[in-house]
Amino acid sequence: MEVDWDAVFPGARRVDLPTYAFQRERFWLEWAAEQSATSAVDTAFWDAVERGDAEALGVDAEQSLSAALPALASWRRARQEQSVIDGWRYRLGWTPIPAVSGAPGLTGTWLVVVEPGADGTDVAAALRSAGAGVEVVTSAELSAGPVAGVVSLLSVEATVALVQALGAAGIDAPLWCVTRGAVCVVDGDVVDPYASAVWGLGRVIGLEHPDRWGGLIDLPTEADARVGAWLAGVLAGRTGEDQVAIRAAGAWGARLTRATPMADTSAGWRGRGAALITGGTGALGGHVARWLAGTGVERIVLTSRRGIETPGSAELVTELEEFGVQVTVVACDVSDREAVATLLATIPDLRVVVHAAGVPSWGAVDSLTPEEFEESSRSKVAGAANLDALLADAELDAFVLFSSVAGVWGSGSQSAYAAANAFLDGLA
Q: Which of 107-116, 285-294, 352-361 has the lowest mean pLDDT?
A: 352-361
Q: Which of 200-214, 253-267, 404-418 has the lowest mean pLDDT?
A: 253-267
pLDDT of 214 > 80? The answer is yes
pLDDT of residue 357: 92
pTM of the model: 0.83
Q: Which residues contact 184 (CB under 8 A, 6 or more apart)?
A: 190, 426
Q: Which one has a higher pLDDT value, 295 or 61?
A: 295
Residue 416: helix, strand or coil by DSSP? helix
Task: Determine how many CB atoms are found less than 10 A away from the CB of residue 227.
Answer: 21
DSSP structure class, residue 412? T
Residue pair 254/92 in contact (Cβ under 8 Å)? The answer is yes
pLDDT of 22 > 70? The answer is no
Q: How many residues does the chain have?
A: 428
pLDDT of 178 > 90? The answer is yes
pLDDT of residue 47: 73
Q: Which stretches within 222-369 are classed as H helix? A: 225-235, 283-293, 313-321, 337-344
Instruction: Please list the residues that pair with 255 across neighbouring strands.
Output: 93
CA 424 – CA 91 distance, rounded (Å)? 15
CA 211 – CA 133 distance, rounded (Å)? 23
- Cα–Cα nearest to 298, from 330, 329, 270, 279: 270
Residue pair 248/227 in contact (Cβ under 8 Å)? The answer is yes
Indicate the residue type of 414.
Answer: Q
- No. of H helices and E strands in the chain? 13, 13
pLDDT single digits (tens) 343-386: 999 999 999 999 999 877 888 999 999 999 998 889 999 999 99
CA 333 – CA 110 distance, rounded (Å)? 43
Q: How many CA atoms lie within 13 A of 373 on its CB side?
A: 21
- State the average pLDDT for the chain: 88
pLDDT single digits (tens) 222-264: 889 999 999 999 999 999 999 999 999 899 999 998 888 776 6
